[in-house]
A = this chain, B = another copy of it.
Amino acid sequence: MSKLVKSSKIDKTFISQSFENLQEAICQELEILDGKAVFQEEKWDRPGGGGGRARVIENGNIFEKGGVNFSNVHGLLPDQLSEGLGLSPGHEFLATGVSIILHPSNPFVPIIHMNVRYFEMSNGDKWFGGGIDLTPIYIDVNQAKYFHQSLKDLCNRHDPSYYPEFKAWADNYFYIKHRNETRGIGGIFFDRLTVNPEFTLEDRYAFVKDVGESFTQIYKKLVNENRTKPYGEAEKRWQLIRRGRYVEFNLVYDRGTKFGLDTNGRIESIFMSLPPQVKWLYNYQPQPNSEEEFTLSMLRKGIDWANL
């Protein structure tokens, strides 16, 4: 594959195929990690062009519900999206990517999200985007530090400016304005990757590929450290409340969800991100000095987790 990179075979077909392979590899690793459930697959076509391969895992040892989606959609850009991009109507687009959200059953295993994506417009514009972010139900400072340090190492393999920039971007993106809370402890987020103009499309692809391939490795340690921790009703209840915040973020703010709805994507694939069970309790306040209160107090922007 590195030979292909050097001879500049990085085009939409190559990228889309590599994302499809990534979905395959991640699903295999997650099935081994879970040890019980297997992914069910649905292929789907998008009426306006393209389609995808949805893979969902349910009722596993680890994963109560999780999805690993590959999609490659193209066609005429819907008018509301043209406007959003400041373009005249009539442009063609292609969007391909892998999107993952995993909802573990044990409240001590964090929810995780990963996405890598490539976008190309008929006017010649093309860019990568992506990110990884973690939503612990109970924040463990050492594990949060490990998570961010791993992302920092990953970024530093490509460019020292990446981690600080993409970490701040994640803080701002995964933010639930109406609650004044971050969704979790953040991670990295990037879109229209254009920092360092001297970088080629190959350089950018190498970074996005590294994000996709590092994901399971980074998450595995967090799963294995927490998977056997005992929990009761109180911890499960807190998990279902926190999952409510996840739903609020995804339905009110998430641009990927909005893009899917605006482009008439397959609804069950877009909403595979929604947790299997959720609670909304009126005016719930954690007990003073509880683990729940500690977690809530740490759901804010600007914490330098890697150096805590």
* A contact residues vs B (CB 8 Å cutoff): 42, 56, 58, 65, 67, 177-179, 240, 244, 247-248, 251-252, 261, 267-268, 270-272, 274-283
Contact = CB atoms under 8 A, between A and B. Distances in A.
B56 A282 contact: yes
Nearest to A103: B280
Contact of A267 (B179, B240, B251, B272): B179
6 A-B pairs with least C-beta separation? A251-B251, A274-B280, A278-B278, A56-B282, A268-B283, A178-B261
A287 to B, nearest CB: 18
Contacts of A248: 251, 271
Contact of A252 (B42, B261, B282): B261
Identify the interface centre among A67, A272, A274, A278: most chain B CB within 10 Å of its CB.
A278
A248 B274 CA distance: 10
B277 A282 contact: no
Contact of A282 (B177, B244, B268): B268
Contacts of A240: 277
A56 B282 CA distance: 8
B274 A244 contact: yes
A79 to B, nearest CB: 15
A236 to B, nearest CB: 12
A82 B271 CA distance: 32
A177 B67 CA distance: 23
A240 B240 CA distance: 14
B277 A277 contact: yes
Contacts of A272: 282
24 contacts: A42-B283, A56-B283, A58-B281, A58-B282, A65-B280, A177-B261, A178-B261, A244-B274, A247-B247, A247-B278, A248-B251, A248-B271, A251-B251, A252-B252, A252-B261, A268-B282, A268-B283, A271-B280, A272-B282, A276-B279, A276-B280, A276-B281, A277-B278, A278-B280
A247 B251 contact: yes
Contacts of A277: 240, 277-279
A244 B42 CA distance: 22
Given A42-B283, A247-B278, A248-B271, 13 more contacts: A56-B282, A56-B283, A58-B282, A178-B270, A247-B251, A251-B251, A252-B252, A272-B282, A275-B280, A276-B279, A276-B281, A277-B278, A278-B278
Contacts of A282: 56, 58, 65, 67, 268, 272
Contacts of A270: 178
A24 to B, nearest CB: 19
A99 to B, nearest CB: 14
A230 B202 CA distance: 63
Contacts of A274: 244, 280
A67 B280 CA distance: 13
